[in-house]
A and B are shown apart, each in its own frame.
Chain A
Amino acid sequence: MKRAMNRWRDAAARFAPPVLSFIAGVVAWELVGRHTNAAFLVPLSETLDRLWELSQSGELWEQLASSLAIFVVGFVLALIVGAPGGMLLARVAVLRRALDVYITIAYATPLVALIPFILSLMGFGFAPKVLVVFLFAVFPVLYNTVEGARSLKPELVEVAHSFRSSEWALWREVMVPYTLPFTMTGVRQAIGRALVGMIAAEFFLSSTGLGQLIMSASQNFDTAGVLAAILVIMVLGLVLMRIGRAIELHFARWRV
């Protein structure tokens, strides 16, 4: 009896704070929204109504698909370049020593600042947006892969060599399995950055996708539309992060 009480109390201590604060947030949004100018904030109920409308008309799904196409293509390209590129850099010491400082610089540069250049060079199509997502995503993948492959114990490579392992076998049996968990940390970081790149491209190149949903709503002073789109992007971000963390954890199990 007492144990059941304790368990119940533990559960309450664990779940009450997030649930209560969530409810408080919802109520606060609703109340503040009702008592402010509609140009600044609208109540949650109105935002959700708008979200329902957008979903019913199909506009939401169409724009979401358009955004995700940019995201996925840019991200996959970043992975295709970043992961093998990083391992190559780690394996060929001269290459790494030659290039690491430039990669660090590129990693630290605010890449959004390059968007106006991309705009005037490549215009408004699909390709420049993919390029932005690619640029945002590739450096975390590259950087983490190099760091991971660099921490590969030299003894492992030496043993492989003493057993006359071919370069191909060395990559397949040692380099790739050892480095993959680190690459996946980069993948997790890259997901967040690619999302920023996606929205930035949709804002500053030409309005398409979820970015357009926000832009056109804000130009029409449709605050409910802006907030509805932000909610969608927030949920998308949380889902993608969850996926990224799951991938990272999955590969972390073989980390040595």
Chain B
Amino acid sequence: MSVAELDQDRTSTLLPRLYAGIAILVFWEIVVRAFAPPYVATPLGIALAVPHVITDRTFLVGGAITLAAVAEGLIIALVFGTVLGLVIGQSKVADRALRQYINAGYTLPMVVVLPLVSLWFGYTGAARLATVVFAALFSITVNVADGARSVPQEYLEVARSFRSRSWRALFEIVLPAATPYFLAGLRLAAGRALIGAVVAEFFTAIPGLGYFILFNSRTFHHNEAFVAVLLLAAFGVGFDMLVSWVTHRYLPWYRRDEIPG
């Protein structure tokens, strides 16, 4: 494809996108103004709310707290999930013994653990952290296990024939092979972790971005609350893009469609 063609392709995507975006916003604005109560969020109202929301202390502190909790929970889930995933992927016995628990944890809707977690940890940040870890742990475990299983056995046999130490085989064969799966799991986990933090704040009413949304929508400040939703969406999309970029940049030989998840 020539550069000119590429440019043409780009504009032929950009313009419809732009028009569609404008159409969606105009439609939203008109429908809400015509049919909904005045406190309901509209694009204009949200845009006007942005300046005073992003200078609002509760919003900034809440955003920082929530994102910090998500990051902390993700790191904990990464460490335990990777270790657990490697064990399950490498050992058939561990796989057979633990799979039922992993599957149960993976399919259990994370919202369900909220009453239990708040019972155990109280209505505190610890309950949120526990929810985030629970939300993120299993998608990482499952993906890392898939990755570790995908290592060609011949590679490990060659390593063994050359009397390579098992930790070297782990770090130089198994881990690199599992990396794209790990990244796919991380992408899933980050989305789930964010949801976990928000629902935990809804449930326990502890300060954070989720609680900011809950409080403002209850006091009929929908425009303000929606700014927080946009931040959450931006965080979700941004993390997705970051992981795809890392995959393309550092693991260009993996096409995205070959990775599960």
Contact residue among B20, B24, B108, B236 (Cβ-Cβ distance under 8 Å from A108):
B236
Whether A254 sits at the interface, judged by CB under 8 Å, is: no
The count of residues in chain B whose C-beta lies closer than 8 Å to any C-beta of chain A is 58
- Please state if A230 and B112 are interface contacts (CB–CB under 8 Å): yes
Contact residue among B20, B99, B100, B229 (Cβ-Cβ distance under 8 Å from A109):
B229
Whether A119 sits at the interface, judged by CB under 8 Å, is: yes
- Please state if A230 and B108 are interface contacts (CB–CB under 8 Å): yes
Whether A65 sits at the interface, judged by CB under 8 Å, is: no
- Please state if A214 and B98 are interface contacts (CB–CB under 8 Å): no
Whether A55 sits at the interface, judged by CB under 8 Å, is: no
Which secondary structure dominates where chain B touches chain A?
Answer: helix
Q: Given the complex of chains A and B, what is the CA–CA distance between A228 and B97 in angstroms?
A: 24
Whether B232 sits at the interface, judged by CB under 8 Å, is: yes
Q: A1-37, CB under 8 A of B: which get 1 and which 0?
A: 0000000000001100110111001000000000000
- Please state if A17 and B107 are interface contacts (CB–CB under 8 Å): no
- Please state if A223 and B19 are interface contacts (CB–CB under 8 Å): no
Q: Given the complex of chains A and B, what is the CA–CA distance between A105 and B237 in angstroms?
A: 7
Q: B76-111, CB under 8 A of A: which get 1 and which 0?
A: 000000000000000001101111110110011111
Contact residue among A13, A117, A195, A217 (Cβ-Cβ distance under 8 Å from B225):
A117
- Please state if A199 and B112 are interface contacts (CB–CB under 8 Å): yes
- Enumerate chain A residues within 8 angstroms of B127, measured Cβ to Cβ: none
- Enumerate chain B residues within 8 angstroms of A22, measured Cβ to Cβ: 100
Q: Given the complex of chains A and B, what is the CA–CA distance between A192 and B195 in angstroms?
A: 14
Q: Measured between C-beta atoms, what is the minimum distance from A126 to chain B in Å?
A: 19
**Chain B residue nearest in CB terms to A100:** B17
- Enumerate chain B residues within 8 angstroms of A120, measured Cβ to Cβ: 39, 217-218, 220, 222
Q: Given the complex of chains A and B, what is the CA–CA distance between A108 and B118 in angstroms?
A: 27
In chain A, positions 213-256 with a C-beta closer than 8 Å to chain B are 214-215, 217-218, 223, 226-227, 230, 233-234, 237-238, 241
- Please state if A237 and B109 are interface contacts (CB–CB under 8 Å): yes
**Chain B residue nearest in CB terms to A233:** B112
User: Given the known A-B contacts A18-B96, A21-B100, A117-B217, are A39 and B233 also in contact in the complex, defined by CB atoms under 8 Å?
Assistant: no
Q: Given the complex of chains A and B, what is the CA–CA distance between A2 and B116 in angstroms?
A: 51
User: Given the known A-B contacts A192-B107, A230-B108, A238-B104, are A114 and B229 also in contact in the complex, defined by CB atoms under 8 Å?
Assistant: yes
Binds A, one of B142-150, B161-169, B173-181, B196-204: B196-204
Contact residue among A40, A113, A192 (Cβ-Cβ distance under 8 Å from B229):
A113
B114, B191, B218, B222 interface centre (most CB from chain A within 10 Å) = B114
User: Given the known A-B contacts A196-B111, A226-B116, are A108 and B217 also in contact in the complex, defined by CB atoms under 8 Å?
Assistant: no
- Enumerate chain A residues within 8 angstroms of B199, measured Cβ to Cβ: 112, 200, 203-204
- Enumerate chain B residues within 8 angstroms of A110, measured Cβ to Cβ: 191, 194-195, 198, 232-233, 236
- Please state if A113 and B96 are interface contacts (CB–CB under 8 Å): no
Q: Measured between C-beta atoms, what is the minimum distance from A79 to chain B in Å?
A: 20
- Please state if B111 and A97 are interface contacts (CB–CB under 8 Å): no
B96, B110, B198 interface centre (most CB from chain A within 10 Å) = B96
Contact residue among B39, B111, B225 (Cβ-Cβ distance under 8 Å from A199):
B111
Contact residue among B97, B114, B195, B203 (Cβ-Cβ distance under 8 Å from A17):
B97
- Please state if A121 and B112 are interface contacts (CB–CB under 8 Å): no
Whether B27 sits at the interface, judged by CB under 8 Å, is: no
- Please state if B16 and A98 are interface contacts (CB–CB under 8 Å): yes
**Chain B residue nearest in CB terms to A39:** B119
Q: Measured between C-beta atoms, what is the minimum distance from B134 to chain A in Å?
A: 12
Q: Measured between C-beta atoms, what is the minimum distance from A238 to chain B in Å?
A: 6
Q: Given the complex of chains A and B, what is the CA–CA distance between A106 and B21 in angstroms?
A: 13
- Please state if A102 and B21 are interface contacts (CB–CB under 8 Å): yes
- Enumerate chain A residues within 8 angstroms of B214, measured Cβ to Cβ: 116
Q: A196-211, CB under 8 A of B: which get 1 and which 0?
A: 1011100110000000
Going nearest first, the 4 A-B pairs with the smallest beta carbon separation are: A98-B20, A98-B16, A218-B115, A21-B97
Can you list 6 residue pairs at the A/B interface with Cβ under 8 Å?
A116-B217, A192-B109, A195-B109, A199-B111, A204-B199, A234-B104
- A21-B97, A22-B100 given; name 7 further pairs at CB < 8 Å: A25-B101, A108-B191, A109-B232, A110-B198, A120-B217, A200-B109, A226-B115
